[in-house]
Every structure is written in structure tokens, then in C-alpha cells.
Structure 1
Amino acid sequence: MISQSMGRQYEVNGDQLVLRQSGVGRPTVVFLPGAGLVGLDYLNVHNAAAELTTSVLYDRGGTGWSDPKGLPRTASDAVDELHALLRVAEVPGPYLLVGHSLGAVYARRYAQRFPDAVAGMLLLDPYHEDTPARMPEEVAQLSEQMRDQPLPEPTQEIIEFFGGLFAGKLAQWPAEVRQPLMEYHRDAWRTGAAEAANVHEVGEEVRAGGAEPDVPVIVLSAMGDDPFRLAQLPERLERGFSDVRCALHGELAASFPRGEHRVLDDAGHNFMHVDRQDAVLQAIRDLLVRQAAPAGSGGA
């Protein structure tokens, strides 16, 4: 059993999945974490969103406090699991999907599979299916090398470095949540790499997945320094990669009839929702208003 502060467990297809629900109203905001993160990493914006409407955090199977699951998974498997969980937990729809990085790809796949259940999407520094073809050659080569090699055991210095980063980002979390989160990130550091191991294939799954619904969409790009990424890529390569990602985000937003692209120069990729909680929350507010306006009305 888990503590009430961590969420509630629901049985979905024989697995125990964790979900935390707060607030009242529709549409319901649903946070889809990036690889390596879990629902409670978004507790700050979840609590703020819950003052506006119903808000939900959850852990995908194989992550956080949900039951173990073989990783990586297909996007369809991940979104079918989420759809079933929302039904079992009786979470009211429609849903405003807030997907971060890999979670943004899952949000788009959810919208393809269940278009009538989606009221809008906020995509936080999303992975884009054209990334492999557009990323700088040096980054592509380094990524391939990293994918082909097993992850080395971290040194004590690396453990302390990343522990300090998480401690800083989670400093405002309640102690009963912060400590278990810190321990999870310390012990489950391989999970993010395992979950994202098939990200290119997941991108192709979305490319071939059909039309996405005409709903309001905001794409937020994080262009600030990210210490988590700079620990893996030289600053020069990370900056070039960020420029490519930002261009792809603009193209993604433009592909939606009601899409908008916003750029945050002072937020890093992994914890952009902490670095710029205000901007993420404002985007949620804007989408709640826009989804209520008829398509084509240009609702403010």
C-alpha cells in the first residue's frame, strides 16, 4: 500500500496504477510525465490547476508507484492504459492533456485514438517525430553511441550531483512527498532511459497514427540551460539541438488549426514546469478558455 499523500491505487487489467485527483470542474487536466519523471514531479502545477478545474496526476505502468512493467512500451499501449485508468477511476472527461517530452507524444497518440475525449493539449518541450532527421549530426552520432552502450553504474559524485539537482527542483514540495520522490529518483534512475529507448519508434507510431482532433493546442519550448541535459551533452551541442527542437515545435504548433507556439528562454527541459510554473499555468488557463469557444471563433 502507498500513503494517501502519494495517490490512490486502481486495478487496471490486473495491474495496480497510481492516480491522484484534486479539484472540481471540466475539462479535467491530465498530466502525462516525461520519461524519468513521475506524476508527483508535477505536484506544483497540479495543485494550481486544481484551483481552476479537476486535475489528475498518475504514474504509467513501470514507473513511479504503479506496478512494474516491461519497458519501453508502444505509445498505443501507454495511452490505452491511461484511457482505462481514467475510466476505472471515474475521472470526468473531456480531458485537457498536458504532456511533457515523451509524455507529449503519448498525449498526441491519445488524441488520435480517443479524439472525442480530448478538449485541448498543452505540449511541454515535446519530442517530435522529425527529430532524428533534423538533429545535428554530432548529436545523432552521440545518441546512437549512448543507445548502443549499457548505462554505466553512477559514481558517488554523480549520485550526489543529480541528488542535489532534484533536491533543488523539489524544494517546495511537502516533506511527506519530497522525501519519497528523492528516494525514487535515486533508486530508479535507469527507468527514464528504459522508457525512452524506443522514442524514435514511438514518434513514427504517431506519424502513422492518423489525424489529430481540431482542439486548441499550445506548444511550449524550453530554451534555457538544463543542468540534467548539460551533464550528458556539451553546451555547444545542447544549444544547437535546442534550436532544432524549437523550430520543430513551431512547425508542430502550426500543424494544428488552433495551435500556438510559445518560447521560454529561462526554463530548462526537464523541469520547465518548475522553472516557469507561471507560464505553464497561464497556458492551462488559456486552453481552458479556448476549449469553451467554438472552433473558428478565435476565442480569447
Structure 2
Amino acid sequence: MILLLAPFAMFAVLAVLGVVYQRVGARRDQKRFTAMGRWVTIGGGCRLFVREQGAGGPSVIFESGIAATNLNWFHIQEHVAQFAHTASYDRSGLGWSSPASSVRTPGNIATELHAMLRSAGIEPPYVLVGHSFGGLVVRRFALTYPEEVCGIVLVDPMRCEEWPPLDPSKQSQIDRGVKLTAYAVPIARVGLARLAVTSLLCRSGLVCGKLAGAAGEGGKHVLGRVREEVGKMPPETWPMVAAHWSRPSYYVGMSSHVGAVPQTVREMMDAEPIHGIPVTILTPAKSSPLCQERLARIGDNVQQIIAPASAHWIHLDEPDLVIESIRGMVMSTIPEALPVSV
């Protein structure tokens, strides 16, 4: 009997050690990586983590993609901060911010962003910069608070027509994403996610490679995609990315964002155009350009720029193009206050 119970006892011990490893690592990560920002309370006990840099001009506010944090803008923000005040942040449920208490739709997130800016003392006018899903959030913000927005830069914004319910064929992709993130939560709680991502981003990658191999071809494919995209980010951000991906709350937040995509599409598919605010849209050459009809549905003063060497992550593939687009938008609002070049 003792011999039969030994494997279960060993498993229990390893699980307990994994939980301790995860909790100690999470506390260490928070101490190491949050000094560059601050938490802003927006009500209901919710706190959003905000990172500010620079001074002057209209404040440039960055909104990340569907499961991304402020780190996605790290390189861009450093450069834009040379000519304007900037703020990037983690949405509820992601990064260092509190768990989400509402459905992750652009309307709810725009309301939280507005509350955060007010509570943080970041005064309008704003130039809003949004990538992918974040493009829908900044559109909704501009429609709700038009008097506070002086310009918008959309970096390959999410296209509602490509997702359910307008395109039901993608529902299986959403369901698979929600299921995988649900599996990842207990894995993160016992420290295995920390072990894998720390190996991938901070060490040799040997452990992560073996775990991905055990998951088959799908695991190897995911690992390759992660290496490719994270490799485009500044190396100093890799340990911070690993810290986020080690947390169970990250996967809970990702699931809530991905699962709300159909509600997001219902909210935004018939959204009214933005009036009187200039909008620049950056479209990757690997995607079809938006036609004039779709541009007009976004706003009445929209310019589309094709990013010739980019896929979806234009701010990682061609950061200079994104920086110059933001600079142009800022300069168009207060040209006399900005230097010719920096």
C-alpha cells in the first residue's frame, strides 16, 4: 500500500513546491518590475498600472492589442516621449492591473481608461494610439469623449468583419483560445508556466523546448511564433514579459478578452463615424488595404498609410513608421511647440 501511494505523495509534494515557487517568484517580479510606473485607482477597488514618460504637447495615450500589456509599446513610447507626454497602461485583467469586473468590450474599457486618465491627472487633449483590438477601444473612446481627443493613430486595427458574429467561421478559433487559456491557469498556479517562459525568455530555452516538444507539432508551432514576435521587442522587456506570462491572472484576463470578441463586434460593427478628428490608419502590406467605404465608416478625416515591410505587429516590424505617424499627428495639433527633429 505504501508503495502504491508513493507516486501520489510525490506528486502532491511537487505541486506544493510548484505553488510556493510561483508565489515567491510573483512577489519578486512585482518588486522588480513595477518601479517604472504607478497604480491609479478608478473606483470599485480597481487599480490600473500606468507608465508615463515625457512632457509637453497633447498626451499620447497607448492602447494595446487584445492580450497585450503596456510592454508592447516599450520601444515606441521611449521615442515618442522625446517630443510629447506619453502614457501606456495595463487594462483590467492584464499585466499588473486588477482583475476585470466587466465584460472586455471597447465601451467598458474606454470608460475605465477615461476614469484612469482623470484619476491620474492626465489632462486632455489626447492623441490616442491603438493596435488591433486597441484600435476599437480608442475609436469608442473618441466617440464617447470627442471633445477630449485631438488625433488618432490606428495600428492595423481589428476588422469586425473578420470575426463572429459577422464571420462565424472564426468562432472555433475563439473557443479554442478560451479553452487553452483555461488549461493554462492551473499550469501557471503550480509554477510550470513560470518555468517554461523563464527558460524561453531569460535562459537557454532548453526546458521550454522540451515542454513544447512534448505537446507535439502544435506546441512547436506556438513556440516558434512566440520566439519570433517577442524577439522583435527590446531584450530588456523579455524578463518583464516572462513575469506577466507566469501569472495565472494573465491567462484569466486573456480568456475574458478573447471570449468577449463576439460582443465587441456587435458593439462596434455599426459604430458611427468619428467626426472632426484626424485619423491615421497604418495597414500592413501583407493585408488588404481598407477600401474608401470602410475608411469613411471609421471617420470623415482618415488617412491610410501602407506599412510595406509589416505583418500585423507594425509597431514591432516598422517602429520608425509608427513613431513618425504619431509625431505627425502631434505636430499637426501644436506645430509651434515641437522641434523640427529629435
TM-score, with structure 1 as normaliser: 0.78
Q: Verify the 8 A CA contact 1:223 1:267 in the aligned structure 2.
A: yes
Q: Verify the 8 A CA contact 2:92 2:99 in the aligned structure 1.
A: yes
* Equivalent residue, structure 2, for 1:298: none
Q: Verify the 8 A CA contact 1:15 1:67 in the aligned structure 2.
A: yes
* Equivalent residue, structure 2, for 1:214: 276
Shift of 1:205: 1.8
Shift of 1:132: 4.4
Write the letter of the residue equivalent to 2:244.
Y
TM-score, with structure 2 as normaliser: 0.69
Shift of 1:71: 6.8
Correspondence 1:202 to 2:269: no
Shift of 1:75: 1.8
Shift of 1:257: 2.8
Structure 2 counterpart of 1:145, from 172, 189, 192: 172
Q: After superposition, what is the alpha-carbon deviation per residue over 1:37-57, rounded to whole angstroms, capped at 9, x for unaligned? A: 111211101111101110111
Q: Verify the 8 A CA contact 1:31 1:97 in the aligned structure 2.
A: yes
* Equivalent residue, structure 1, for 2:205: none
* Equivalent residue, structure 1, for 2:108: 77
Correspondence 1:261 to 2:309: no
Residue segments in structure 2 that go unaligned for 5+ positions in a row: 1-29, 185-210, 214-218, 336-342
SS in 1 for 2:160: coil
Query: Percent same amino acid among aligned pairs?
Result: 25
Write the letter of the residue equivalent to 1:206.
M
Alpha-carbon distance in 1 for matches of 2:160, 2:67 = 19
Return closer, same or farther for 1:186/1:167 CA change in 2, 3 Å cut-off: farther
Shift of 1:291: 3.2
Q: After superposition, what is the alpha-carbon deviation per residue over 1:47-102, rounded to whole angstroms, capped at 9, x for unaligned? A: 11101110111011111110111574232210110001001111121110001111
Q: Verify the 8 A CA contact 1:27 1:53 in the aligned structure 2.
A: yes
Q: Verify the 8 A CA contact 2:152 2:280 in the aligned structure 1.
A: yes
Residue segments in structure 1 that go unaligned for 5+ positions in a row: 225-241, 294-300
User: Aligned runs of 1:1-300 on 2, under 5 Å?
Assistant: 2=31, 3-13=33-43, 14-70=45-101, 72-132=103-163, 140-141=168-169, 143-149=170-176, 151-152=179-180, 153=183, 156-157=212-213, 158=219, 160-170=223-233, 172-174=234-236, 177-185=237-245, 187=247, 188=250, 191-224=253-286, 242-243=287-288, 246-247=289-290, 251-255=293-297, 256-269=299-312, 271-292=313-334
Shift of 1:194: 3.2
Structure number with larger C-alpha Rg: 2
Number of aligned residues: 265
SS in 2 for 1:288: helix
* Equivalent residue, structure 2, for 1:234: none
Alpha-carbon distance in 1 for matches of 2:155, 2:42 = 27
Alpha-carbon distance in 1 for matches of 2:147, 2:92 = 24
Q: Verify the 8 A CA contact 2:128 2:138 in the aligned structure 1.
A: yes
Q: Verify the 8 A CA contact 1:215 1:291 in the aligned structure 2.
A: no
Larger helix proportion, structure 1 or 2? 2
